[in-house]
Amino acid sequence: MISLCLVGGDAVKKIKIKINYKGKIHNIETVRGKLLRDVLEAEGISYLFPCGGNGRCGKCKVRFVTGAPRLTSADSTYISEKELSDGYRLLCRCVLDRDCEVNVPGGVDEESIVAQNVDTGVFSAAGGKNKYGIAVDIGTTTIAAALLGIAGNGEVTVIKTGSTINHQRQYGDDVISRIAYASDEAGLKKLNEIVTADVKELVNELRKDIDQNVDLLVIAGNTTMLHIFRNISVESLGRYPYKTKNLEIEQCDFYGIKTVLMPGFTAFVGADILSGVYYTELIKKGEKRLLLDLGTNGEMAYYDGSKLKICSTAAGPVFEGGTIECGVASVPGAISHIKISDDLKTSYETIGDKAPIGLCGTGVMEAVAELVRVGVISSDGLLSDEFFEDGFSFTKDGKVRLTQGDIRNIQLAKAAVNSGIRQLLDGEVPDKVFISGGFGTNIDYEAITPLKMFPGSIRGNCEGVGNTSLKGALKFLSAALYGEKNEAEETALLTEIKDSASELILANKDDFDDTFVEAMNF
């Protein structure tokens, strides 16, 4: 039944909504024409929108028991005809126009997401006095932190680590979605409040067992995350020529603690990469070294023995399970490693040995590599006829599968990485290749050989080095805690690294398109 109310003398139609969410019934009255996502937010129901609620991923399906709204183009793109007739719609695009009842699934619990951190124990050793500091890496997906202490004997120790999901994820799982949401003052304020609350919670957790104040906080992260953390507009990061507000090393006060924000290179090669260059000592005279970061995008830095070059590639969030129909973050139950026999029987490992709920980044890559190896996927990326329509299922119930659309997204991501590396190396062969982040640490490099994601010149020469953004922040923190002289020396070194880099703009390279298309094949 639709009721009417008067607003400024005009009649506004009101409708009644019954929402079934996690076993609880929410009876709501709202005005006709509201987005379902806005109704949920007002009711305090949190829901993840991997594409930022722009109808580009199809991962927020809900089922209307009664009163299904009119179809949108996004519904028709991502939902089958049978599901549409059964009342399924995309939550992010639903415009409520009548009384209805809707079932909203609980979704994946990302609070238990596995973040890449550092080991506790001795970090380095030097002379000094008792002091404590905390290093933080603000990632697009997770935030990791570590408490470091200097003992009376001068030993520097990582005492405790902690991590949390970056709760901004509910507004999009990649940088572009966050920039879009924060393009106005209200959106920026919301995301700033979320990330500062997350960091404060981690700081409180790490310092609760020490008997004195934290002397210094050092924070690294990509350019967008650090802009949002400082409540600086990110609007210019989302449009050409992608100008930044501040990339210098910066000192401020956060939560009553002296805080240093690590410097960055550019809009898309940020402080997380510079921190990695600093930690790995990438700039080493006489050696050629390559650093790759394959997270929600693909950034890389190459030192050719005399010059430092950097670039970013539009790999997207595939390496963290994004844009994949059954892709999930690195949570318990995510398939992380997979094998397929010649007769197409599947075996796999899941995070936490839990029942399978989807494919995380490493699982996605290994699954495609195995399907290429056994001939189910052709060299140009087509699934065989048997699996072309419905995809290849990895579980008996068919709920975890890989579709033709997924394979195309993986081809785009791996081609971006492959062609970016080739352009950056320009025919040279690095002596060492470091791959940072959770993907780089947990992937089986031999298993993904059929993908041809890495050029032949660096295959077999890759070393996973963990969270180099956090490790670089810890390296600076351990030096700075010894006093102003040490801090000044490390600040100068970071500034030197920043100023020495030249950015390679892949889109400006005449042969980049040809290189990219060639790299699409397996």
339 CB-near residues (< 8 Å, 6+ apart): 346, 347, 348, 370
Domain ranges of the chain: 3-107, 112-277
Is residue 73 predicted with pLDDT exceeding 80? yes
Local confidence band at 22 (pLDDT 50, 70, 90 cut-offs)? confident
Q: What angle do CA 52, 338, 414 make, to 5 degrees?
A: 50
503 exposed, middle or buried (CB, 10 Å; 0-12, 13-18, 19+)?
A: middle
Is residue 12 predicted with pLDDT exceeding 70? no
pTM: 0.85
Q: Report percent pLDDT > 70 for the chain.
A: 93
509 CB-near residues (< 8 Å, 6+ apart): 423, 515
- pLDDT of res. 128: 42
β-strands 358-359, 334-340 pairing: parallel
85 CB-near residues (< 8 Å, 6+ apart): none
- For residue 297, what is the DSSP state? S
Q: What angle do CA 130, 132, 137 make, to 5 degrees?
A: 155
CATH domain 112-277 topology: Nucleotidyltransferase; domain 5 (3.30.420)
Nearest Cα neighbor of 174 from 260, 108, 237 is 237
Q: In a 3-state reduction of DSSP, which class is residue 128?
A: coil
Is residue 440 predicted with pLDDT exceeding 80? no
97 exposed, middle or buried (CB, 10 Å; 0-12, 13-18, 19+)?
A: middle
CATH domain 3-107 topology: Ubiquitin-like (UB roll) (3.10.20)
Task: Kindly report, residue by residue over 453-477, the tens digit of the pLDDT.
Answer: 999 889 878 888 999 999 999 999 9
Residue 173 backbone dihedrals phi, psi, to 5 degrees: -100, 5
Nearest Cα neighbor of 450 from 522, 500, 388 is 522
In the Cβ-directed half-sphere of 351, how many Cα atoms lie within 13 Å? Answer: 23
Q: Tell me whether the CATH fold assigned to 3-107 matches the one assigned to 112-277.
A: no
- pLDDT of res. 478: 94
Local confidence band at 224 (pLDDT 50, 70, 90 cut-offs)? very high
Residue 490 backbone dihedrals phi, psi, to 5 degrees: -70, -35
Task: Kindly report, residue by residue over 245-259, the tens digit of the pLDDT.
Answer: 889 999 999 999 999
Q: In DSSP terms, which residues pair with 14 in a beta bridge?
A: 3, 31
Mean pLDDT along residues 425-444 = 88
More confident residue, 487 or 128: 487
